Amino acid sequence: MNLEKKRPFPVFLLALVFSLVTPVLFPRFVLLFYSPLIILYFYLRPLHICLWIAFACGFIEDCFSSEQRFGVHALNYCLTVCCLYNCKKNFFADSQSTLPIMVFLFSLLSTVFHLMLGHIMGVDLLLSVRWGISDLFLMPLLDSLYSYIFFILPSLFFYGRPRKGSDYFMSNQTS
C-alpha cells in the first residue's frame, strides 16, 4: 500500500461513521478514528494543509464529545501534527508498516498532549500504572490495529502484496 496514492475521502467517511457509531454502541471504547486520515495527509500535503485537516478532525470530535471543553481535540490534534509531521521522513510511504507505526506514535503523543491540556484546564487525572499501560500502550496499539485492519488489509486483499526491489526484475537463472 502506498500512502501517496491513497484517496483521503473514503478514509474520512469511514472515520466519520466510526466516530459517530462507536460511542453509541461501545461507550468505553475510545479510539482516534481520524488519526489514519491525518497520517495519510502527512504523505499527501504540506504541513499547513495537515494542520487544517487536524483542526477540522478535532473540530468534528469536539462537536460530538461532551466530556471535554470545546476546542481541546482540535488543539490536541494540531499540536500532535506539529510534533509528528517531520517523522514522516523516517518512514517510507509504500511500506505496509508505516501507517500503523505512525498511528501508534500519533495516538501516544495525542494522549500525552490530552493529559497536559487537561491539567492546564484544571481537569486532574489520577495517574497510575494501570492508566499508563492502558492509555499509553494498549489504546495506541488498538489505534494502530484499527488502521492496519481497515486500511492496509483491504488493499492487500484486493491488490495483493506490492512488489519491492528485486521483485520488479526477472531473475537471470540459467538452467
With a cut of 80, say whether residue 14 has pLDDT above it. yes
Which of the pair, 15 or 160, is modelled with greater confidence? 15
Does 125 fall in a domain?
yes
**Helix 98-120 / helix 139-147 crossing angle, nearest 10 deg:** 140
Q: Is residue 167 part of a domain?
A: no
- The DSSP letter of residue 171 is -
For the stretch 88-125, pLDDT in tens is 989 888 888 899 999 999 999 999 999 999 888 887 77
| pLDDT digits 0-9 by tens, 36-92 | 999 999 999 999 999 999 999 999 999 988 777 899 999 999 999 999 999 998 988
Give the residue-averaged pLDDT of 7-30.
Answer: 88
Alpha-carbon torsion angle 74, 80, 82, 85, nearest 10: -120
Is 56 within a domain? yes
Count structural domains, the chain. Answer: 1
In this structure, is residue 174 part of a structural domain? no
Domain, as residue range, for 60: 3-161
The answer to whether residue 168 sits within a structural domain is no
Per-residue pLDDT at 110: 96
Could you give the dihedral angle defined by the CA atoms of residues 63, 81, 23 and 112, in that order, rounded to the nearest 10 degrees?
-110
- Determine, yes or no, domain membership for 139: yes
pLDDT in tens, 123-173: 777 788 988 898 999 999 999 999 999 988 887 777 766 555 555 455 555
Q: Tell whether 34 is covered by a domain.
A: yes
